[in-house]
Chains A and B, each alone.
Chain A
Amino acid sequence: GENVEQHPSTLSVQEGDSAVIKCTYSDSASNYFPWYKQELGKGPQLIIDIRSNVGEKKDQRIAVTLNKTAKHFSLHITETQPEDSAVYFCAARFGNEKLTFGTGTRLTIIP
Chain B
Amino acid sequence: ETGVTQSPTHLIKTRGQQVTLRCSSQSGHNTVSWYQQALGQGPQFIFQYYREEENGRGNFPPRFSGLQFPNYSSELNVNALELDDSALYLCASSFYPSGSTGELFFGEGSRLTVL
Residues of A within 8 A of B (CB): 6, 32, 34, 36, 41-46, 49, 89, 91, 96-104
A45 x B45 contact (CB < 8 A)? no
A91 to B45, CA, bound (A): 12
A102 to B37, CA, bound (A): 12
A34 x B106 contact (CB < 8 A)? no
Q: Interface size of B by Cβ–Cβ distance < 8 Å?
A: 26
Interface positions of B from 40 to 82, Cβ below 8 Å from A: 40-45, 48, 56, 58
Interface positions of B from 81 to 106, Cβ below 8 Å from A: 90, 94, 96-98, 102-106
- CB-based nearest A residue for B100: A51
Residue B33 lies at the interface, judged by CB distance under 8 Å to chain A: yes
Residues of B within 8 A of A (CB): 4, 31, 33, 35, 40-45, 48, 56, 58, 90, 94, 96-98, 102-109
Report whether over half of chain B's contact residues are helix, strand or loop; otherwise say mixed.
loop
Query: Which A residues are in CB contact (< 8 Å) with B109?
Result: 42-43
Sorted nearest first, the 10 A-B pairs with minimum C-beta distance are: A101-B42, A98-B45, A43-B106, A43-B108, A44-B106, A43-B109, A101-B43, A43-B107, A103-B42, A89-B42
Chain B nearest Cβ from A46, distance in angstroms: 6
Chain B nearest Cβ from A106, distance in angstroms: 9
Partner among A36, A43, A46, A99 whose Cβ is within 8 Å of the Cβ of B45? A99
Query: Which B residues are in CB contact (< 8 Å) with A43?
Result: 4, 90, 106-109
- CB-based nearest A residue for B107: A43
